[in-house]
Structure 1
Amino acid sequence: MNVFSVPISQVGFCYNLEFENWHNGLVGYRVFEDGKRELLEGGLGFGLDMLQTFEGAEQWKAQIPTSVYDITCLYPEYQYQMLHLASCCSNAIDLLNSRPILLALICDKYSVDNSQAMRLIGLGQRQILAELGLDSTKSALKFLDKVIKDNRLSTSLNLVRSLLHPVSKRYLRFKHYTEVFHSTVILDQSYPFMTGTALGMAIANARTNPEINISTYFTDTLRLGEAIGVNDPIAVIQRLPSLERLRDLHDRWSEQRMQQRFQLRRPQNTDVPYVNDFTLTDDMQHIANYQQLCDEAIEMKHCISIYHNRIVSGQYSAFRLLSPERMTVGIKHVSTKTFPYEIDQICGVRNASPTEATRQVVYDWFERNRKSYSSSNVVATSNRAINAN
């Protein structure tokens, strides 16, 4: 395939695009309605995947070396320009194979000037950094090797450039890190005193945990310490040796904060026992009073305690599920239904969602109570009819 024509005027552009094949340098043109063709002197500003819906895209993409195409996908804004430079110059291929972020930085600076971009590609890597106005030491190159292990950070070119400023050389703060991630840098910007500490490095290594935003978790722990009146919570946190100890501290401070709130906002009628209309099991226990409700909130680290007033007024019931996993179950009272209840929530520690197996256990228990309620109502109705006769 020699030319790939892309009618992007169909989606709102004032021109169409044409691209030569890989062996012709992927040279691109803007083609206007009057037939005028304008050479693309830089990038497109968007990734080539946006063109995949147009006819001929797959054939055009197929003649680009797969490894080269895949590397440039990480930098969609500069992808076309990076591919064009790679098709024209072996030095660009070398950069893609060694430090692709350098080629992205070049395209970022010369996004509309391929000739200048090509000039930089011919230089050594430290010279490239110097030409880009960045620190050009061997340490700077080693830092980039740490960065490119994290896709999110390596594509945050503004952030990387700020770290490589030739005067501040902020990247040197991470010289003891084997890898540098986006969350690591963001944490450093907000809490620079953590960078380089045992806890700071542990937080950096925990970036792949899908259940928690580490920077947010750290901030939350700090605010909890301030809220409960800890003297210099920063110093306390800074001395922690690991992320596990941070979690322990967070939970301990969270519990203290919750206890404070219970004392400050203690509702009325806390001595009134809670009514239960459900048949219980060994694994499904009724939360029978305000103290048990508070204990459940503390243990499970969620806000079930705010339901006290609704429970006392007969609008709600709360239960403690022990197995197949620890959960809190909330039942809403609905007077308009034949069986005047419905399951409102099933939540675990920090409002974690139940597994399907746990959800089914709760539904089965609820269904048994519904059937029992219906049967008792039938018997009561029959007895009333007999007595009336």
Structure 2
Amino acid sequence: MIDLPLIIDALAVFSISFLVCATVLATRGLHLPFAHRRADTRAVQAAHRVPTPRLGGLALFAGLLCVAVLAPPSLSDSFMTFAIAMLPVFLAGLLEDLGRRISPLGRLLAAAASSGLVIWFLGVWLTRLDVPGIDFLMAFAPFAILFTVFAVVGVCHAFNLIDGLNGLASGAGVLTALGLAAVALRAGDPALAEVGLMIVAALIGFLVFNFPAGRIFLGDAGAYSLGHILAWLSIGLMVHHTDVSPWAMLLIFFWPVADTFFAIWRRQRAGRPTGQPDRLHFHQLVMRAIEILVLGRNVRHVANPLSTAVMLPMIAAPVIAGVLLWNAPLLACLAMIAFGALFVGSYMLGMELAARRVRVPVMHRRAPAPTMRIEVAE
């Protein structure tokens, strides 16, 4: 049965997000010279070559306010309070997007402050992880609160790390929100499911401009806020429905979390600071492989969105597993291990194949290899 009020609400959220993005683009001549930094297109991790507005977070935040107004009565007040609590992380990211150079530590502290406000205002935090021993510690509120803040900050940072291709972070956000909405429906919580679907509508309003052409980016405000919203939506599910497995939630967030942990391990193994950017994220490897093996290096405008299209099914697979195993902690844990092994194995295989491909031209001609380097840029 078609839920007409939900469709109307979703269209309203989509329209708000769409109009904010359109306004940002229409006024780019006013704010882009002020906000743009030459380093943006020359950064080690950059995948674009043209100055682009990084104010997609405005559309997401406007959509969130619209969700708070249109959410079911049982959630409307809480969601408006949540939007207010999100201001520190949103504003810190927005200042960075406007060229104010907020340090990574500063943005992480802002994310922690927002999580602290959510806990203070709403009295909600993680109380279980379905891990023997750790669940005993989670019974102590101070430990559980600190762990909750750490986990949410980690998810915020994870979505920022995967925001490297047109449509990648927002596409992953759509899949994650759909997964959480599906779990909410299976757990008998249509109100939370409706919130998840309206978040999808806000992201689609942004994606119209971001994918495939990349006319506007999420920016730090958008990526951090997206991680914050989705992390707390999953916490709400686990708190209000004790049959929802934390392992299933982790499966739904698998890709950004796995990419972040692997980046930390990779940089520590190389003796580099964990916060130092590089070109070795999974999505960057996929894009370089497409450029090297298929398209060539001068069609970045095609390779960028094509890489996102290649990766979205990979991101969707653990999300689907999380939905199917939403109340089966042991199976969800085993699936998590399996997807982790696949992630690491496919990454290592891709690195080896790409490295071999790069070395071939060097052996046959004197000119430098016409490909982008696989090693970390200094």
In the superposition, the TM-score normalised over structure 2's length comes to 0.26
Taking structure 1 as the reference length, the TM-score comes to 0.25
- Relative contact order (alpha carbons < 8 A, sep ≥ 6): 1 or 2 greater? 2
Bigger helix share: 2
